[in-house]
């Protein structure tokens, strides 16, 4: 499904149903009425007479589709900005295509959630997001589901309703990325060298034009290391840019620590054995 521009006003409503308007109000979707009589006695845009022998359910579905199609034509005739056209029974005309009556309540909820995504735009195709604990690039937004490609290449398909139930973090829209990482050094590091570590970290971080250094401090005394934190901001939302900068900072820290004679800590355990003294 191709993406289309959404007008600021919201969607177009091809139904006079009070229930439809109430539902849109509940989910916070603004609408503009497309089907209406401009003068008293004017015929409706879509003839609402039932066909001979037509079952009530078939009549409702046919009316919804015809109103959605008529609404799309009216939108084009008026040169209005293209947007979803919603008719009765959650029948939607989108980009000239008709998506009919949902098979069940879950399908209907996914269709309405898709409208919320298209209108609210928490993300668009191409954005890198974190949703339901999974990170990846949005590849498509459909009326029932959203597809996302992870960094490892896996394709994830989220039902739209489930997707909107959780928190969505859009990394593409971050003006800058905050980085907080730790450095652990050995317990035998002299205090004079410990005092120099925040300055060494600052110098290593500030070498990059896209980086804004925040702070570095002696954070804690862990079981097997003396821990420092280093916090800085990258003026880019691109994960690859962040990864390249972090790699350069790590290499610079290793060079500086080697020159200063400061050792990185790794998990160790000292075992002290006590026993009876053996006399000669």
Instruction: Look up 95 and say whether it is catalytic.
Output: no
The CATH 3.30.70.100 portion of the chain extends over 177-260
HSE-CB of 174 using CA atoms within 13 angstroms: 20
Catalytic residue among 45, 49, 89, 110: 89
* CATH assignment, 128-172: 2.30.30.60
Asked if the model's pLDDT at residue 178 lies above 80, the reply is yes
**Using alpha carbons only, how large is the chain's radius of gyration in Å?**
30
**Which has more confidence, 238 or 19?**
238
Most confident of 11-15, 79-83, 142-146, 245-249: 245-249
The C-alpha atoms of residue 135 and residue 152 are separated, in whole angstroms, by 10
pLDDT computed for residue 257 by the predictor: 95
Q: Is CATH 3.30.70.100 the right assignment for the domain spanning 177-260?
A: yes
CB atoms within 10 A of CB 279: 4
Asked if the model's pLDDT at residue 2 lies above 50, the reply is no
The CATH 2.30.30.60 portion of the chain extends over 128-172
pTM of the predicted protein model: 0.53
**Which has more confidence, 27 or 218?**
218
The C-alpha atoms of residue 68 and residue 79 are separated, in whole angstroms, by 17
**Which has more confidence, 77 or 39?**
77
* CATH assignment, 11-101: 3.90.950.10
pLDDT computed for residue 115 by the predictor: 67
Under the phi-then-psi rule, with left for phi > 0, alpha for psi from -120 to 50, and beta for the rest, what region is 252?
A: alpha
pLDDT computed for residue 4 by the predictor: 36
The C-alpha atoms of residue 227 and residue 263 are separated, in whole angstroms, by 12
């Amino acid at each position: 499904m191709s993406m289309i521009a959404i007008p600021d006003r919201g969607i177009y409503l091809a139904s006079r149903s009070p229930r439809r308007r109430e539902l849109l109000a509940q989910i916070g979707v603004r609408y503009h009425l497309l089907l209406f009589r401009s003068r008293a006695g004017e015929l409706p845009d879509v003839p609402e007479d039932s066909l001979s022998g037509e079952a009530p359910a078939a009549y409702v579905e046919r009316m919804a589709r015809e109103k959605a199609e008529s609404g799309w034509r009216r939108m084009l005739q008026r040169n209005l900005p293209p947007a979803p056209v919603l008719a009765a029974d959650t029948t939607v005309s989108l980009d000239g295509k008709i998506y009919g009556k949902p098979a069940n309540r879950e399908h209907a909820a996914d269709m309405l959630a898709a409208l919320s995504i298209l209108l609210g735009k928490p993300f668009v195709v191409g954005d890198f997001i974190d949703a339901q604990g999974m990170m990846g690039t949005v590849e498509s937004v459909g009326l029932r589901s959203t597809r996302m490609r992870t960094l490892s290449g896996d394709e994830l398909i989220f039902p739209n309703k489930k997707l909107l139930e959780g928190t969505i973090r859009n990394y593409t829209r971050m003006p800058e990325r905050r980085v907080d990482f730790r450095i652990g050094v050995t317990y035998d590091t002299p205090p004079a060298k410990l005092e120099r570590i925040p300055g060494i970290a600052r110098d290593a971080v500030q070498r990059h034009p896209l980086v804004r250094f925040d702070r570095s401090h002696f954070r804690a005394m862990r079981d097997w290391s003396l821990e420092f934190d280093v916090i800085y901001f990258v003026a880019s939302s691109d994960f690859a840019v962040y990864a390249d900068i972090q790699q350069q900072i790590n290499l610079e820290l290793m060079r500086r620590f080697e020159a200063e004679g400061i050792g990185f800590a790794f998990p160790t355990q000292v075992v002290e054995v006590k026993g009876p003294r053996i006399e000669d």
